A and B are shown apart, each in its own frame.
Chain A
Amino acid sequence: GENVEQHPSTLSVQEGDSAVIKCTYSDSASNYFPWYKQELGKRPQLIIDIRSNVGEKKDQRIAVTLNKTAKHFSLHITETQPEDSAVYFCAASSDQAGTALIFGKGTTLSVSS
């Protein structure tokens, strides 16, 4: 089955800096790669996703890149703000309808002002 590795486990940056979180996956059939942000006591919230027919996707300060050959994808947050502080999870699933998301172990991002 799918296995998703996520690094780093913790990341501390200064406000205004960029943050990068990286994930690798094992199942070459996976082709959907979402990123979730989870604040304390809340459910995971989708912040951006990418499918395998695209190499990069951007939404304001957030971007995701995908390298299918190397089986890795990354989350890039630019101009970080204190409210970006949270736990971020990457996940992967295959094209098969009804396939569950498999999550990475998460990255705790701390943005200090």
Chain B
Amino acid sequence: SYELIQSPSVSVSPGQTASITCSGDTLGDKYVYWYQQKAGQSPVLVIYQDIKRPSGIPERFSGSNSGNTATLTISGTQAIDEADYYCQAWGSSTSIVFGGGTKLTVL
């Protein structure tokens, strides 16, 4: 079955750029979605179809997807961005897959 691999944790200093990656076989051929989940809350969509930002999501969130890797980039990271981040894609025509999640710590 299809798998999406994420690093368990990423640390970044306030104001710096955080990059969270998601790897999967020929992932660049699929649409990737990214979700932010803060402690005790429901997930929130932050990037859809690789690069698009939903209304209300700050411009510092951006996405890319090529080859086997999709990347969520947070520019000028703020303390409020500390959360778990999950990537998601259709693993096949009949199944949806989430990555294992990356815990972003803003030191």
Q: Tell me whether A and B are bound partners.
A: no
